[in-house]
Amino acid sequence: MSRPRIVLTRRWPAAVEDVLRERYDLVANADDHPFSADELAHALATADALCPTVTDAIDAALLDRAAPRARLLGNFGVGFNHIDVEAARRAGLVVTNTPGVLTDCTADLAVMLMLMVARRAGAGERMVRDDAWAGWAPTQLLGTRVSGKTLGLVGFGRIARAVAARAHHGFGMRVLYYNPSAVPAAVTAALNAVACDSIEAVLEAADFVSLHCPGGAATHHLIDAARLARMPAHAYLINTARGDVVDQQALIDALAARRIAGAGLDVYAGEPVVPAALKTLDNVVLLPHLGSATHETRTAMGLRVVANLDAFFAGREPPDRVA
């Protein structure tokens, strides 16, 4: 029997591509270009499994047009709001993701953003690179202390809990959170975390607000102008979740008017486009979606996809099935 054909929409770590090449008829993306809609449609029509990433929009129109031969979407990432899951289900496609393996690295990056924006690390690094540093001065690039402050988390899943652990045990921070479902008492006790009954309650009380909710219609512009107005003027917003969770223009307006102190962003509403207005602001740190970008995590993500492929094509239930 011929081996199942697997199409990758982007380059993956070499170690993972090697494993896939050994087990499957692999079609890799040699030059790592983002797939067009035509390329996605062709891949769906000619492969047994398509392995997309967050940059690939797999919507109902694409699936209707493609008449998929593919039977599995092995998503490279934990978030899957770029996939119309209901349309995929109607087209007979199983959808999997890669939960768990990127928790620590994304939590590390959220804390890094918090530290960078509070301590003005980006501005300081640009000053040195631009040869604009004239030496130490008592009032130069004064920032905000992180230790001992209050961290508010919107969403309290794996990544948020990992951020809370770093903040509480590492920086002695008080931890507040809002989560739509109940959290085990043992989890909150270990982190000395306090549940709030609304997002507004978190925003009003926190010095740093970190977002950890999925993207999609239910959370589109969850943080809008009205909710940004609930934050104290000294507070910072951190987003490592999905760009469309925040009303980007409302955030730009709040930052420009100094209605909040600053923001640390790893995700954007229209990636890879970042609004020019954001780039001009000195109270925001901007990263290019690096949350899981370590050798260890990206390899683990790829191997998690491999495990789902192996199970599916062996006739077993994929361990990370979401649809």
Tell me the CB-side half-sphere exposure of residue 23, using CA atoms within 13 A. Answer: 17
Our answer to whether residue 212 is catalytic in this structure is: no
- C-alpha 296/C-alpha 275 separation (Å) is 31
CA 307 to mean position of chain CA atoms: 22
- C-alpha 110/C-alpha 116 separation (Å) is 10
Our answer to whether residue 289 is catalytic in this structure is: yes
- C-alpha 203/C-alpha 320 separation (Å) is 33
Given 161, 227, 242, 298, the catalytic residue: 242
Given 271, 296, 317, 321, the catalytic residue: 271
Our answer to whether residue 22 is catalytic in this structure is: no
**Which residues are within 8 A (CB) of 166 and not within 5 positions of it... i.e. 6 or more apart?**
107, 108, 111
- C-alpha 46/C-alpha 24 separation (Å) is 14
- CA distance from start to end of the chain: 27
Structure tokens at 123: 């501005």
Q: Which residues pair with 176 in a beta bridge?
A: 152, 194
- Cβ pair 322, 308 in contact under 8 A: no
Structure tokens at 81: 């709001």
> What residues are annotated to the active site?
242, 271, 289
